[in-house]
Amino acid sequence: MKKIFIILSISLVALSQVLFTSCSSTPSVPSNYQTENRLPQITPDYTDITVPCNIAPMNFSVKEGTDKVVVRFTSPAGEFVYGEENNVIIDEAEWKSMLEASKGKDIKVEIFAEVEGQWKMFKAFNFHVAEEPIDEYISYRLIQPSYVAYEELILAERNLTTFEEKQFYNNMAVQTEENGQCVNCHSYQNYKTDRMQFHMRQSLGGTMIVDNGKIKKVNLKTDATISAGVYPAWHPTLNLIAYSTNKTGQSFHTKDKAKIEVQDTESDLILYDVEKNSVITIANDSNELEVFPTWAPDGKTLYFCSAHFEYKNDSIAKETEMIQRYKECKYSLYKMTFNEKTHEFGPREMVYDAASEGYSVTLPRVSPDGRYIYFAQGEFGCFHVWHPDADILAFDTKANEVIDLKAVNSNRAESYPTISSNGRWLMFVSRRDDGNYTRPYISYIDKQGKPRKAFELPQKDPNFYTFFLKSFNRPEFMVEPVKQSLNEFASAAKKDAEQATYGK
Amino acid sequence: MKLKLSYIYALIFIIVCYILLPVMNSDYLFTLQERSLWVNGHTFMTETVGRDGWIGYIGCYLTQYFYYPWLGSTIIIALWLVICYILNKVMELPDAFTFVPYLTIWFLPVYLLSLGYWVYFIKTPGYPFIPTIYALILSLVCLIINILFRNIKNDYFRIFRLIFVVSLLSIIKPYDFNKYHEFGITLKNDNYRHELKMYKAVDENRWNDVLAEAPKQENKDHKHPTNLMVMFKNLALLNTDQLLEKAFDYDNCGTAPQTSDDLKVKLFVQAGPMLYYHYGLVNYAYRWSIENSVKYNFSVNSLKMLVRCAIYNQEFDVAMKYISILKSTTFYKDWAKKQEAMIRDSRLFMESEDYQRISVLQTKGNELDDDLSNISKYILDHFSNYNSSTYPFEDLSIVSSLLLQREDEFMIHFYNYIQNHSEDPTPKIMQEAAYFIGPTEMSPVDVSLFPFDMNIKDAFANFNEEYRVRSAQGEADSNIAKSLLPMYGNTYWWYYFFHSELKFY
């Protein structure tokens, strides 16, 4: 017994020594070094970016072919040194103090790396800290970048001020081996979560609606509509949701890098009245593919995209003709006025005739001041997340012109733009890391509407994105967390859906 | 010195296990680890533990050792011995009865070998070791209970303890066992075992080894190969420049795999990406690697294919992502580094066997299409529909149209072939098919002036006559097929008459 006690004591002392050494030592900045006149290779690329004053630590990994790295952060709050390995994990408390003291100013980052026995100092870069905070929460769908198959689909929220992530829906809680369930299109009213919705398809299908904290599951497919609701947009104040209804198909490129085309062969717009549980048609022109509704912040205008497409060959299926002519399908940006009292819409008006210019616009979102409409634009089609040429652009309703947001785009697909509640942070997904996995990126939009270099959503593990094999889909800003739990949603999912009625 | 019986029992157990595992089933064990994944890193650990728990994570870790089937087997057999040792301690059995624990854990080796075709469809990461880990934990629980109640020493308690241990272990017996009972397939199904060997050989470009596993047409038992075996065999013939000459020397009557439960084997899961990649449809190989990974988890197997496709398509960033993951495994670091070297030095890639073979299989232009999850049919359609006078398309088109029994497409390929090879002798199989199809209304080509070899004309006349006579006597086609196999098994007529429908699955 005595022996065991002695061995245990020695082990504890040794362990505490190891822990103490690893936790307390601050690496020293090398005094002798060569100066490299270039920026260091770091992932994610956080060089010279503008960050919110409440963001989680911007951890990164130095990719200079060595583990011996020292990083010095200099801010009005003082100097902080990290390193001795290539993963730079910033202490959360120290980071907060740096951000707090640096609002409207810069945090200088100097990186030293020992390569082949010689220390090098790379060109310093800055984190510019914006005075405007970012919405505290975002939510997204986590999905493997598959084409048709799916298995685990997660709706998760992330606290942007920390690394905390919480699942609020996971289809594995309800689906069985034989009966899979697809989950998509989470959406909120005005950045708040008292009113939110998402869809479930196939097994236990229906639209999950949260209305002032109460969950209900509805079936929006009626005899008069193409499908259940697809792309949603909550009215900013009223208990109404505009949806597209779509008939969607996929086909696959034998050689093209895009690999897949997703096309709508039919597409209309409907309005769902949550209280009455009824839908009406907004637009259903048979020669138009209307999709992606989004409300202006005042709730008096509905923006949407529409492609003029006339089927010409009756002898083949619509799907076949669409596959043959898929590059002809180009969406432009339109709007309709909305009478909040009568729930009636005005005639459609062209906002941006993208099709005439050889482009196709999708997924519009309006800035909180109503001036800018952000959207994803590519050469053709409605599913730009698979189109490498797709970029995020904005339409300035005041100047009546399109703004090319070069600072946020890459030579790979960008899609799903969304703007924070204060209008200063543009979030979107991009495949720029590797061409295959969509990652959330955030860009600061200054008061003149100009974007700054976008940065990848920070993660605790700087190598997270390399090893994470899921895509981030449809990122949405929220000012508060989702209040319902995964179990509550799962229980509601197992219930039968209430059938919506058609007409007033 | 008297040898203790417990040692003899242990020795017998070890010998039986080694025979069952690495000696008889090394390809199966290797496949188990290739369809699994363990990555040294925080993100993988967090995800796996979050989804499958620590037991799943440890299961993944241990499964990777089947990369060397003897090493993985040694680890799992050692764990089984530890369990038996603990149970012996707990049961306090007399020496003569120390075989009882081995009987108690009989289901663990059975579990390990019960996957059969489920090896491609299993969704439980680390499955091969999970029952063993559970058994180990439960036996440790028994040991702790035994220590706690060690002062009670009467016979009733001993019997109670024995019953308790056996019933405790039986808790894990139903674990997924009802789902996987393909023990017989793993051990005895020839096609299954050929497929495992062929897959590995194709993966390593060992084409002659692929052919060694393919049954020749004149095989005595006349058990048909699976469709996958036919596709692999033809691929190996293509890559050894003998497709047109020898395709019908082998049995082309591909069947669906036989399973002993309700599992419906799908080719796209089993080997879809591998077939697409080697037949030059790289985008589709990539797509199915992803689709399968989504359904059945990312594995070493799928990551390797994703790397190959991404490098071929020059999508180097995503290739590096998968390479980084494979570099963080225990046994695939070197493979990943070789692929990385090809990204760094494009000459290495251009000189690689993969590039040399696959680049010549590229058809002109991009198409928007859908295989409707029917891989082998899509590949055969793809080549059968394609008209080209260049090698290897010419051979592939001819053989594909023959396999699909597309008379019109074959006759057009035949016509083009004899135009392009007017100086060369026309291969036997083409003459057989053209002599038979040419005069019919299905043929868009007039072959009346083509100088068919006399022995082909005679052979067809004899075949036709024998078939006519036997058929008139009321003999079933299956019997006629068996009778005519030795003489005509490698003719196109035999294939056409007796194998009217390819089994796609």
- As to burial, measured by CB atoms within 10 angstroms (0-12 exposed, 13-18 middle, 19+ buried), residue B169 is buried
**Which residue's entry shows tokens 């299908």?**
A205
B294–A468 CB contact, under 8 Å: no
Torsion of CA B457, B463, B469, B471, to 10 degrees: -130
Helix %, strand %, coil % for chain A, to 5?
15, 45, 45
A469–B367 CB contact, under 8 Å: no
Q: Residue A8: which pLDDT band, with cuts at 50, 70 and 90?
A: very low
B148-154, long-range: CB within 8 Å, 24+ apart, which pairs? none
What does the pLDDT read at residue A7? 47
Q: What residues of B are in contact with residue A469 (Cβ under 8 Å)?
A: 293, 298
The phi and psi torsions of B326 (rounded to 5 degrees) equal -65, -30
Which of A151, A257, A326 is facing B295, going by the closest CB pair?
A151
CA of B51 to nearest chain A CA: how many angstroms apart?
A: 10
Mutate to test the interface with B, among A252, A263, A431 (most CBs of B within 10 A): A252
CA of A434 to nearest chain B CA: how many angstroms apart?
A: 5
A146–B291 CB contact, under 8 Å: yes
B298–A469 CB contact, under 8 Å: yes
CA of B464 to nearest chain A CA: how many angstroms apart?
A: 42
Question: Would the pLDDT of A158 be above 90?
Answer: yes
Structure tokens that stand for A409 in this block: 């785009």
A147–B291 CB contact, under 8 Å: yes
What's the pTM value of the predicted model, to 2 decimals? 0.91
Q: Which residues contact B317 (CB under 8 A, 6 or more apart)?
A: A433, A434, A435
Q: What residues of A are in contact with residue B291 (Cβ under 8 Å)?
A: 146-149
Which of A254, A260, A467 is facing B281, going by the closest CB pair?
A254
Q: What residues of A are in contact with residue B324 (Cβ under 8 Å)?
A: 466-467
Question: Would the pLDDT of A27 be above 70?
Answer: yes
CA of B4 to nearest chain A CA: how many angstroms apart?
A: 33
H or E segment and range at residue A165: strand A165-170
Q: Residue A24: which pLDDT band, with cuts at 50, 70 and 90?
A: very low
Rounded distance, CA B180 to CA B189, Å? 15
Which of A250, A255, A466 is facing B321, going by the closest CB pair?
A466
Residue of B nearest to A322 (CA): B368
Residue of A nearest to B379 (CA): A254
CA of A458 to nearest chain B CA: how many angstroms apart?
A: 14
Q: What residues of B are in contact with residue A256 (Cβ under 8 Å)?
A: 283, 366
A433–B317 CB contact, under 8 Å: yes
A463–B43 CB contact, under 8 Å: yes
Closest CA to B105 of B139, B61, B140, B145: B139
A433–B291 CB contact, under 8 Å: no
Query: Per residue in A186-207, pLDDT tens?
Result: 999 999 999 999 999 999 999 9
Percent of chain A's residues with pLDDT above 90: 86
Residue of B nearest to A325 (CA): B368
The phi and psi torsions of A289 (rounded to 5 degrees) equal -105, 95
Q: What residues of B are in contact with residue A262 (Cβ under 8 Å)?
A: none
Q: What residues of A are in contact with residue B362 (Cβ under 8 Å)?
A: 255
Mutate to test the interface with A, among B45, B283, B313 (most CBs of A within 10 A): B283
Which of B293, B317, B370 is facing A251, going by the closest CB pair?
B370
- CB–CB of A222/A501 below 8 Å? yes
Q: What residues of A are in contact with residue B328 (Cβ under 8 Å)?
A: 467
Rounded distance, CA A150 to CA A164, Å? 25
Which of B283, B292, B320 is facing A253, going by the closest CB pair?
B283
B287–A259 CB contact, under 8 Å: yes
3-state secondary structure B223-270: CCCEHHHHHHHHHHHHHCCCHHHHHHHECCCCECCCCCCCCCCCHHHH
- Average pLDDT of the residues of chain A: 93
Query: Per residue in A106-140, pLDDT tens?
Result: 999 999 999 989 999 999 999 999 999 999 999 99
Within 10 Å of residue A43's Cβ, how many Cβ atoms? 16
- CATH ID of A137-501, from 3.40.640.10, 3.90.580.10, 1.10.10.60, 2.120.10.30: 2.120.10.30
Domain ranges of chain A: 30-129, 137-501
Q: What residues of B are in contact with residue A145 (Cβ under 8 Å)?
A: 290
A255–B295 CB contact, under 8 Å: no
Mutate to test the interface with B, among A255, A325, A327, A433 (most CBs of B within 10 A): A255
Reported CATH class of domain A30-129: mainly beta
Torsion of CA A227, A233, A234, A239, to 10 degrees: -30
Query: Per residue in A320-345, pLDDT tens?
Result: 999 999 999 999 999 999 999 999 99
Rounded distance, CA A90 to CA A60, Å? 9
Question: Would the pLDDT of A247 be above 80?
Answer: yes
Task: Please report the number of interchain residue pairs, chain A to chain B, with beta-carbon separation below 8 angstroms.
Answer: 95
B293–A469 CB contact, under 8 Å: yes
B368–A323 CB contact, under 8 Å: yes
What does the pLDDT read at residue B175? 55
Q: What residues of A are in contact with residue B372 (Cβ under 8 Å)?
A: none
Structure tokens that stand for A153 in this block: 């689909």
H or E segment and range at residue A115: strand A106-115
Which of A145, A257, A464 is facing B290, going by the closest CB pair?
A145
Q: What residues of B are in contact with residue A437 (Cβ under 8 Å)?
A: 318, 321
**Residue with the larger pLDDT of the pair A66 and A304:** A304
B368–A259 CB contact, under 8 Å: no
**Which residue's entry shows tokens 């053209």?**
B434
Could you read off the pLDDT tens digit of each residue along chain B, which spans 505 residues?
A: 566 888 999 999 999 999 999 999 999 999 999 999 999 998 999 999 988 899 999 999 999 999 999 999 999 999 999 999 998 888 788 888 889 888 888 888 988 998 999 999 988 889 999 989 988 988 888 888 878 877 776 777 777 777 777 776 666 654 555 567 788 888 889 999 999 999 999 999 999 999 999 987 765 566 889 999 999 999 999 999 999 999 999 999 898 998 887 888 999 999 999 999 999 999 999 999 999 999 999 999 999 999 999 999 999 999 999 999 999 999 999 999 999 999 999 899 999 999 999 999 998 889 898 999 999 999 999 999 998 888 899 999 999 999 999 999 999 999 999 999 988 999 999 999 999 998 888 888 888 889 999 999 999 999 999 999 999 999 999 899 989 998 999 999 999 999 877 788 8
Hey, which residues does A126 pair with through a beta bridge? Answer: A108
Rounded distance, CA B487 to CA B218, Å? 9
Q: Which residues contact A316 (CB under 8 A, 6 or more apart)?
A: A324
CA of B44 to nearest chain A CA: how many angstroms apart?
A: 7
Q: Residue A449: which pLDDT band, with cuts at 50, 70 and 90?
A: very high
Structure tokens that stand for B286 in this block: 């990539």
Residue of A nearest to B329 (CA): A467
Q: What residues of A are in contact with residue B293 (Cβ under 8 Å)?
A: 144, 146, 469
Which of A149, A326, A434 is facing B295, going by the closest CB pair?
A149
What does the pLDDT read at residue A43? 96
